[in-house]
Chains A and B, each alone.
Chain A
């Protein structure tokens, strides 16, 4: 019983040391309206980078 408790405690410790999963970024290319609607749905600000391909 004591061993099981120890194992359980170490399992909890291992679990708590595991980093929380990082949510995947929602990324869009060249579709403002789709990105805006996704931001509304997820209640997140929309970050827009305007870039030149040269």
Chain B
């Protein structure tokens, strides 16, 4: 998404003022507290009123982004378009339930032939993902079969499958099987981007595991890794980072971390300012039981100046490797430092999540027997 957006933005210089908001930079805490704190998100803001006027959450093709930005300054006159804009404004402010209502009104007013119909469905399912995963699954399963096999279909299938994967209690519920079929079909849609494929594989894998289908999950992980390994050389650091993350996740699922270590080592050298390049390599080393290498990679990542969330992740990863290497004292020191770093995370929900993870690791360390 980021690579596609930067390509589109280069052609629209002078038509917008651009702001990049790093989710892991405490300077953005106030902005993220007032807006939808999710990534990737592109929003257009009226600078005079600070109102969000349009919002795009999730992946998009270059064509979709061009059309989205091209319509940016248009003032909607029809009821359906006004409701769509209202939904975007509400979702941009993180008011998902109200946004759902606005998108429903937009769809009702616009009808099936409305030119923004499929985009409104994308936005509706995204808003449901934020506030009501059960409805997200049901609505995605209901809407997607009627949509042309465009990127909007892919987006709805990705979002619905992600909702299903995140909510194990829904695995036997209405629409679950249909959604899995739709998500599997979305993998073959030509406009499905790399990011879409990664998200689809992640969701489908999680769903298989929740359903107790380990063999099916393993087969999917194999397809996932093969897909990443057949991508062309990265054209930008953003592409390299996205591919490496997918490569790592697929290899860990398949139980073959050694297979991706050489690529991740090369990326760590190629991206000397990226703390997460070291973090991804550390995760592969740790999975390969190379704890000393994992500790060293985390240390290199910490020296690259990560934000509070990145620092927390690297410290907890290093603590895990230290504990497995038989050094609980070092692990405890790192977890206590991680607790301090986590307290500085700007987004409250992420801060709470990471503080909980550090606490669980500390508890596990306390109950573990001393190492040799």
List the interface of chain A (C-beta within 8 A of B): 22-32, 35-40, 42, 44-54
Q: Which of B47-55, B150-158, B185-193, B318-326 contacts A (4 or more CB under 8 A)?
A: B47-55
Q: Which residue of the partner chain, among B53, B274, B275, contacts A45 with CB atoms under 8 Å?
A: B53
Q: Which interface residue of B17, B39, B241, B313 has the most chain A CB atoms within 10 A?
A: B17
Q: Which of B5, B27, B36 contacts A31 (CB 8 A)?
A: B27
Interface of B is mostly: mixed
Given contacts A30-B25, A30-B27, contact A46 B44 (CB under 8 A): yes
Partner pick for B19 among A23, A35, A40, CB 8 A cutoff = A35
Contact B2 A51 (CB under 8 A): yes
A43 to chain B, nearest CB (A): 9
Chain B residues in the interface with A (C-beta under 8 A): 2, 5, 9-10, 12-25, 27-28, 30-32, 35-48, 50, 53, 69, 72-73, 241, 245, 274-276, 279, 306-307, 310, 313
Q: Are A44 and B19 in contact (CB under 8 A)?
A: no
Residues of B within 8 A of A26 (CB): 17-18
Contact across chains for B47 and A39 when beta carbons are under 8 A apart: yes
Contact B41 A50 (CB under 8 A): yes
Contacts of B306 on A, CB cut-off 8 Å? Answer: 53
CA distance A52 to B39 in the complex (A): 6
List A contacts of B21 (CB < 8 A): 30, 32, 48-51
Q: List 14 A-B contacts (CB under 8 A).
A: A22-B13, A24-B13, A27-B19, A28-B19, A30-B27, A31-B27, A45-B16, A47-B44, A47-B72, A48-B42, A50-B37, A50-B39, A51-B22, A52-B24
- B2 contacts across to A, CB distance below 8 A: 49, 51
Least CB distance from B30 to A in Å reads: 8
- In the complex the two chains form, is A49's CB within 8 Å of B48's CB? no
A49 x B14 contact (CB < 8 A): no
User: Which chain A residues lie closer than 8 Å to B32 at the CB level?
Assistant: 50
Which of A25, A40, A50 has the largest count of B CB atoms less than 10 A from its CB? Answer: A50
Residues on the B chain within 8 Å of A52, using CB: 22-24, 39-40
How far is it, in angstroms, between the C-alpha of A29 and the C-alpha of B21 when the chains are bound?
Answer: 6
B22 to chain A, nearest CB (A): 6
Q: How far is the CA of A27 from the CA of B107 in the complex (A)?
A: 35
| CB-CB nearest in chain A for B42 | A49
Q: How far is the CA of A37 from the CA of B45 in the complex (A)?
A: 12
* Complex contacts, A23 vs chain B, CB 8 Å: 13-14
Residues of B contacting A40 in the complex (Cβ-Cβ under 8 angstroms): 47-48
Minimum CB–CB distance for A12 against chain B, Å: 25
Provide the residues of chain B in CB contact with A49, threshold 8 Å. Answer: 2, 5, 18-21, 40-42
Chain A, Cβ-Cβ closest to B69: A47
Query: Contact between B39 and A28 (Cβ–Cβ < 8 Å)?
Result: no
Q: Evaluate whether A53 and B276 lie within 8 angstroms (CB atoms) in the complex, with A45-B44, A46-B47, A48-B45 already known.
A: yes
Q: Are A36 and B27 in contact (CB under 8 A)?
A: no
B157 to chain A, nearest CB (A): 22
- Which residues of chain A are within 8 angstroms of B31 by Cβ–Cβ distance? 32
Instruction: Tell me if B279 and A48 are in contact (CB < 8 A).
Output: no
CA of A21 to CA of B110, assembled, Å: 41
